Homo-oligomer: A and B are copies of this chain.
Amino acid sequence: MSLAPTTLADARDRVRTLLADVQPHLDRVDDRLRVELSSQHPMIDRVLQHGVRLGGKRLRPALVLLAGEATGGVTEGHVTLATVMEMIHTATLVHDDVLDEASLRRHEDTVNARWGNETSVLLGDFLFSHAFTLASTLGDAGLCRAIGKATNTVCEGELRQTLSGGDTALSEADYFAIIEAKTAALCACCCELGARWSGAEEATVGRLSRFGMALGVAFQIADDLLDLVATEAGAGKTVGADLAKRKLTLPVIHARDSLVNGPRQSLLGLLEKGDNASRRRVVEHLESVGAFGYAQQQAERYADLAAAELEGLPPSPAVDSLRAMARFSVRRSA
């Protein structure tokens, strides 16, 4: 299959090349994060600064900045919005790690592994509320509303996913609805904000928003694939969490719908058990019906849809970078 795991360092290098144009602005986002997430209380400061380092690739701020660059140029407001969106994303990561009981994220201890679940829950809440406060400093209640709504959609998607944990009958349509809500809505919002803050026309805002939505879906399918096939050393995070949580993802759903009789019963039995030890046997079932190839194909289809939305924009290096990000979203290891 084409999703050959590379090392995390390779992936980071590739992202760096992609984002060379906006790297100075991304550095400003990092600076803003460090300043905003500091506290006069040393214990809190340590937790916040650890939180800053968990975000990793800065995909979401890059979307805000590139959408801004593609529609007129990056301003200080774009940097603020990029910081807000990274803070919200980090909040969801911190809470995800509580839910997944994960101990490793980007080769760093997760917050819950180091300080316990209580601190993780509160750190996530701190990040959410700080993000909304920072967003409101721009003085535009419409942007606050867009950010609040996207975040609320993420939460609703995560709730649907959690409440359907263990549901081995989850349909492919439900899977797509869930990942659109829990991942793609925030990517769409990043692109929308970048374009809106540049004062772009509604048609352009719509195109970039749809680009972000499609890219987010592609990205999540690839991420779910990784959880099944990656090694912890390569991915830099705990893998196999989805099966352990009995959370069905696209390759598993496709295999369940493709297999019949004995093999189907065998797969369902392994899914019911949900133990990480069954991962290799589940993977064998998935390979037997080409489920990884199917999921990879779907991810690429969404990446193509994302790229197609960019055709309506005036050509620019920023648009080239966005196109490259869509391609990269389905060929990555972490």
Contacts and interface: CB of A to CB of B under 8 A. Distances in A.
B119 A121 contact: no
Contacts of A155: 122, 125-126, 129
A219 interface: no
What is the copy number of this chain in the assembly? 2
A273 interface: no
A251 interface: no
Contacts of A125: 91-92, 95, 124-125, 128, 151, 155, 158
Interface in A99-130: 99, 115, 117-119, 121-126, 128-130
Interface in A136-157: 136-142, 144-145, 147-149, 151-152, 154-156
Contacts of A92: 125
Contacts of A99: 117-118, 121-122
Contact of A122 (B39, B41, B142, B158): B158
Q: Chain A interface: which size bin? A: 35 or more
Contacts of A135: 144, 148
Nearest to A39: B156
Contact of A117 (B44, B98, B122, B159): B98
A95 B122 contact: yes
Main secondary structure of the interface of A (DSSP, over half): helix
A6 interface: no
B152 A126 contact: yes
A133 interface: yes
Scoring A41, A128, A164 by chain B CB atoms within 10 A of each residue's CB, the highest score goes to A128
Interface in A27-61: 39, 41, 43-44, 47
A34 B122 CA distance: 26
B43 A123 contact: no
Nearest to A40: B156
A152 B39 CA distance: 12
Residue of A47, A99, A159 with most partner-chain B CB within 10 A = A159
6 cross-chain pairs, A with B, having the tightest CB-CB distances, nearest first: A133-B148, A136-B145, A136-B144, A129-B151, A126-B155, A129-B152
